[in-house]
Amino acid sequence: MGSHTATPVTTGTELNGQSDRRHSSRTPALFSLLYSGMNTGQMLIGDGIVTNLSLGGIGIRGNRSVTPGMDMALFVDLPGLDEPLCIAQSRVSWVAGRQFGVELGTLKLEEKNHLQIFLCNSVTPSDRHGGI
C-alpha cells in the first residue's frame, strides 16, 4: 500500500483557475478507469486515469472529450479490488481539455465503503493528526 500513500490536497490549482467546489479533501491518485455516457445523442466510451478523488468526486484525465453536465457511469480500477468499482451515477462538473472533474451521485453502501477504505489508507498517519 505504500505506493498509494498520499497527502490530501485541497487547492484548486490543477483546475486552471476554477474554484475548488469539493466539500472534502482531494487525495492524489494514479490508477485507471473507464467511463461511459451519452454525448449529443451518441454513446461515448473512454478510458483514463484518476488523478485525484474524494467521497464527493473524482478528477480524471481521459482520452475522450466530455462536456459539463454530462451524466456518466464510471468503472474505477480501485487498488485492492479484484473487479472495477462500478459507480452508476456521476455528472461532469468541469472540463479543461482532456482533464475533467466528476461529481459522484448517490453511492451504494458498498461503493461508499470501498472509497472510504481507500481514502483512509491513502492518508499517512501524520496527516491524520490534522483533523480526521
What is the DSSP secondary-structure string of 24-71?
S-BEEEEEEEEEEEEETTEEEEEEEEEEEE-SSEEEEEESS---TT-E
- pLDDT top residue among 109 and 125: 109
Residue 27 has pLDDT above 70, yes or no: yes
Q: Are the C-beta atoms of 32 and 16 separated by less than 8 Å? A: no
The mean predicted confidence, pLDDT, of the chain is: 81
CA dist 7 and 10 (Å) reads: 10
Query: Cα–Cα distance between 95 and 122 in angstroms, integer?
Result: 26
- Give me the pLDDT at residue 124, please: 52
pLDDT at 128 over 80: no
- CA-to-CA distance for 47 and 1, rounded, in angstroms? 24
pTM: 0.75
Distance of alpha carbon 12 from alpha carbon 106, whole angstroms: 24
Percent of the residues in the chain that have a pLDDT greater than 90, as a whole number? 63
Q: Which residue has the higher pLDDT, 16 or 107?
A: 107
